[in-house]
Each structure stands twice: as structure tokens, then as C-alpha cells.
Structure 1
Amino acid sequence: MNYLEVTVKTTEEIYESVANLFWESGAGGVVIEDPRVILTHIAEDNWDAWEFPEELLEQEGIVIKGYLPLDASLVETVGKLKERIEGLKKHFPEGRIEITETEVAGENWATSWKAFYQVEKVGTKVVIKPSWEEYNRNPEDVVVELDPGMAFGTGTHPTTVMCIGALEKNVFSGCRVLDVGTGSGVLAITAAKLGAGQVVAVDQDPVSIDAARQNVLLNNVGDRVTVQQGDLASSIKEKADIVIANIIADVIIKLAPQAAALTEPSAVFISSGIIKDRLSEVLEALKANSFQVENTIYEGEWVAIIARRV
């Protein structure tokens, strides 16, 4: 399948909101090119400068690229997306927004982002390692190898990082975990490597299912992680000690009653993919479904919630 690559050149205060709008519009993938982040890693000797194009390192501002499938709804989808992106100027009048489009082949998008995906420690113990990169692990490292392909979840997006931090604090030996909207499988695999005894990873996207299954095999956790296709948690029957969902606010609100039905008191519901403007709605849905919020974590415009079933 071919995709329309929509490129938005913008500034620091807007880029996270733009990225979220891409996901809400059904993008098959989103790439964020932020030279500040790359230069910081180079300065800390985590990455090598020669791995990145010179024009990227000298780039002004931040570039977000979203990939939308070329289907019958594309014109309407792009029109609404542009309207919503331009609408951000009302909230960020000093921000810059430039939008361009180009058609790309699916296989080109599936590999072009690899240049910006490096080994990164994202929690106190968890290290995300691209499958094609080398890494000398430390004894305390929990290394998760990934090849996301076109599935969401490289492990380094702020919402994923917050979820991994929450898993590090809440996973216990032998616990049962349900990962809804698994994408590349990064959170399900992380849970298994942190000690979970049984992990069920669900996604409705066939591309994500394939990517997650391949990554489960890559990390040798197939004995503990089951990947299956489904609409949220509607097909799940087994109870879980931890439910985790890194999606968007509307989907988490819809998932809340399903999560309540699949958990006993004291179980944990970790949710992210939420922008600050939608936080109150999600908190209300959690409270209405017998979840008590224990912690709210912020990273830029993104929020993660750790709630406990009561």
C-alpha cells in the first residue's frame, strides 16, 4: 500500500499536539525529527554524528511526518487534519506551521525512519534496542529488542516512556498483564521481561499484530506473551492484574468499563496517549468505572495515569 506523507514544520510548543492529531487521524506511523534531541545524544556520546544527515542536524525547528493510507477517505481525512493543525495557531499564536504533502511507497516509509531510531535507556532498567543495532548491555539492563516496521511503538515516544516507567514500578513476578493497542508489542514485551507471568497483547490492526508477533519471537518471550487481534478488550475473558493502554483519550474512555470488568480490586490500570486538554474527561471515566487515580505523570503535552481498581 502507498501512503501520503504529510510533513509539518513547526516549533517546540506545538509539535506534540501535531503528533497527537496525526494519531487521532489514523496515521499508519508518525516520525518526529527534532535536531535538539539528536544533538543532545551526540553530545552525551550515546549516538554518532555521522549516522545523521548534516541537513537534519542543522535544521531549524521540528519536523513531524505522518503517513496516511491512500484510500477512499484520504481527501476528507487530510482536509480535517489540516483544519485541526491550522486551528492550533489559536492556542499557540507565536508558533510556526508549514504543511507539505508527498506520496511514498509503503516499503519506503517502513525503512526510512530507521536512521533516527537508536539504542536508548527509557526507564531505570529498560533499554530499547533496535534489532539492527549493537549494544553492550550492563548486568542490570532489561533489554527489549524491537523492529517496529510500520506499527506504532518504537519505545522512545514520551507516552511509551511513561508507560514503561509505570510498568517498572507495578509489574511483579508472575502477574497477569493485558496490553490493549499493543502496536509493536513494546509494552507487552517489557512487562514479560520485567517478570510478568502471562501477557495478552491485543490490537485491531493486522500490521501491528504481525510486528508484535515478530518482536515477541525476537525477544524470546513467546512462552509468556500472546498476541491476538481484537477490538479493544471485548474478546478478552481472563482477569488481569495490570491493564495498560497507550492509545488516545477517546479510546481509553471507551476501554474503562472493559478494564473494570477484567480486573479485581487492587489491580492497576495504566493509561497514556492522553493530551492535557483531555485529561479531565479520562479521569471522570476512570472514576465512573471504579478506578482511583494514584499518580498522574506529565511529559510535555502528554499525560499518563496510574489508577487502581477499588
Structure 2
Amino acid sequence: MSWTEVVIEVAREHAEALSDALMEAGALSVSVEDADEGTDQEKPLFGEPGMVPTEAAWEHSRVVALTDLDADQAVIVAEAAQAIGLATPPQFTTRNVADEDWVRKTQSQFEPIHIGKNIWVVPSWHDAPDPDALILELDPGLAFGTGSHPTTRLCMEWLEANPAPGKTVLDYGCGSGILAMVARKLGAGSVSGVDIDPQAIESARDNAERNHCEIDYYLPEDFAQSAHADERFDIVVANILSSPLKLMAPMLSGRVAPGGSLVLSGVLARQAEEVAQAYAPFIKLSVWAELDGWVALHGQLQQGS
């Protein structure tokens, strides 16, 4: 089976509305791209992981709509233009899209990832390169954290360099649950994960089951009602973003047991000092490592605190 893509270049103020209208007019899917991609005017539309872009589209946007091969593309574009109040339908080009094994093509983009000294993150359709390594079977999904981002790598490398057999670990902002699983596979005793996203919690639980890891995952409100509600942990790791990390300084610091460690990432190198200052009243943090402009901060709570 084949399809036809309709390609329309529009101003930013029309991109989102036109996308919705094309779907209503019969398009199968719609995406918005930077029309200046590959030129000096190309502009990235993203910030830190998990942040929503402040703009919904590019100044010069390219709307790409997938349609059935036998659809009347001119009618679809005309209906969409009328629906959003454009006086005349925008000009468009078309291009054929041949049928492919999309699952296989998508899977081919994801290879096993080697992290630290002995950790491999392996998609389910690959064999582990080193069966004797610490293997995490993890498929790319909706929850953040597959080991590909520098912040996730930094936290995983810290956990590998500081194994804590039998100790308690809290992964706050757990996403896919990858950090909690690393801690568990490295011998940690009780491991808990918390995330505000129900879909992340569902994903983390599925991943833990697949990797034979006994981990408790909670939404914050459930965590507050759990047996861990007042617990202080030997290791607290939070890979989130600098702004929420600063706001959560009293709470996260209060979760660290005396003599325990706090590990933070999701922090750009230029943000390290201000994040450390937010935690200074509770625990002294310093940069443990840096990778591609991101840092992991680490500190140890003094005994008796």
C-alpha cells in the first residue's frame, strides 16, 4: 500500500490551526516541520528535556499531511483552508510514500547502548552484546529515560561507581524506571520510584517486571500514603530539571538518611551553582561529573542531620 504526502509551507500563526483542519478534512496524520531546515535560518524549537516549547511552530513552518493515495488532495487542502478562514487555499506539493516495514525501520534506529563500565541498555529485538554485563531490556517509549540522554547516563554511571548493596534507594522523577532498576541490579535492598505521570509509572512497572526487578513505583499522592511515607533513604537520585529541582530542595534533602547520598541531574553546567545554592541550607552539593554540557551533582548528608 502507498500514500501521498501533501506539503504546505505556511506562516507560524496558521500552522497549528491548519494541522487540525487537515485532520478534520481527511488527512491520516499531520506533522509540522521547520521550513528553513538545513539553512542558516534553521531554528530549534526545544529546551531542556520535558519542557514544552514556548512556540507552537516555526516562523516558516512546513505542514506535512499524509493522505490516502486515491484521496483528492486539493479538496482536502481547500476544506482545511476554508475551515480556518483563509481567503484562498495555500499552494502545496505532493510526494509519494511507498509502503515499508515501519516497525522494522523504527527498530533499526535503536541499537544497544553501552553505559559506564559494565551496563548495557538493550532493546527487546536485540541480543545483549555482553551477556555477563548488567543488562537492562528497555524499549524506547513514552516515558523519559532510555540511557541515551547525558543526564540519564550520568546518574547511571554514578550508581555503578557507588554500588550500595542492601541499602535503600529513592528514584524521584523515575520516568521509565531505569535508574531504580540499575540500583536494584547493583544490589540495593528496598528501591522506590516516584513520578507525577501515571503513564510513566505504568511504563516503569512494566519495565521492572520485564527485568525481574522488585521495585515499588508510586504517584506522589500514593507515595505519601505508602509505607515509605516518612522513610529517609540511603541514596536519593532525581533526574528532572533545574527549576523543579530547586523548588524541591527541602523535600528531596529531607528524604536523605544521615550519611546518605543525594544525586541530582537534569542540570546544565551553567545551572550547577544556582542548584547547589538552593540545596546549601540542607546539604552541600558539588559537580560529580559533566557530559555534553550537563552535570550530575552529588552531596552527602552529615551524620546527625
Give the TM-score range, shorter chain. 0.5 to 0.7
Normalised to the residue count of structure 2, the TM-score between the two structures is 0.66
Q: Which residue among 68, 78, 90 is the counterpart of 2:55?
A: 78
Counterpart of 1:279, as a letter, is: A
**Using a 3 Å threshold, how does the CA distance of structure 1 residues 132 and 308 change in structure 2: closer, same or farther?**
same
Residue 152 of structure 2 corresponds to which residue in structure 1?
A: 160
Shifted more, 274-283 versus 113-122: the winner is 113-122
- Return the structure number with greater relative CO, CA threshold 8 A, min gap 6: 1
Q: CA deviation at 1:276?
A: 2.3
Counterpart of 1:228, as a letter, is: Y
Residue 173 of structure 2 corresponds to which residue in structure 1?
A: 181
Unaligned segments of structure 1, at least 5 residues: 27-76, 87-97
Q: CA deviation at 1:256?
A: 1.7
Do residues 204 (structure 1) and 181 (structure 2) align?
no
Residue 142 of structure 1 corresponds to which residue in structure 2?
A: 134
Q: CA deviation at 1:171?
A: 2.7
Shifted more, 258-267 versus 151-160: the winner is 258-267
Higher helix residue share: 1
**Using a 3 Å threshold, how does the CA distance of structure 1 residues 244 and 128 change in structure 2: closer, same or farther?**
same
Larger radius of gyration: 2
Counterpart secondary structure, 1:281: helix
Query: What percent identity do the matched residue pairs reach?
Result: 30
Residue 243 of structure 2 corresponds to which residue in structure 1?
A: 250
Counterpart of 1:24, as a letter, is: M
Normalised to the residue count of structure 1, the TM-score between the two structures is 0.65
CA contact (8 A) 2:168 2:188 kept: yes
Residue 228 of structure 1 corresponds to which residue in structure 2?
A: 218
In 1, the alpha carbon distance for the partners of 2:47 and 2:138 equals: 22
In 1, the alpha carbon distance for the partners of 2:104 and 2:218 equals: 25
In 1, the alpha carbon distance for the partners of 2:150 and 2:242 equals: 15
**Using a 3 Å threshold, how does the CA distance of structure 1 residues 278 and 121 change in structure 2: closer, same or farther?**
same
CA offsets 1:239-296 (integer angstroms, 9 cap, x no match): 11111111100111122211221122221111111112322210101212x2122543
**Using a 3 Å threshold, how does the CA distance of structure 1 residues 22 and 197 change in structure 2: closer, same or farther?**
closer
Q: CA deviation at 1:112?
A: 7.8
Counterpart secondary structure, 1:187: helix
Q: Which residue among 267, 273, 291 is the counterpart of 1:274?
A: 267
In 2, the alpha carbon distance for the partners of 1:19 and 1:213 equals: 29
Unaligned segments of structure 2, at least 5 residues: 1-22, 24-28, 67-101
Residue 23 of structure 1 corresponds to which residue in structure 2?
A: 50
CA offsets 1:196-226 (integer angstroms, 9 cap, x no match): 111101111111111111000000012xx11
Counterpart secondary structure, 2:55: helix
In 1, the alpha carbon distance for the partners of 2:46 and 2:104 equals: 19
Counterpart of 1:146, as a letter, is: L
Residue 304 of structure 1 corresponds to which residue in structure 2?
A: 296
CA contact (8 A) 2:172 2:238 kept: yes
CA contact (8 A) 1:203 1:209 kept: yes
Residue 127 of structure 1 corresponds to which residue in structure 2?
A: 120
In 1, the alpha carbon distance for the partners of 2:148 and 2:273 equals: 25
In 2, the alpha carbon distance for the partners of 1:240 and 1:270 equals: 12
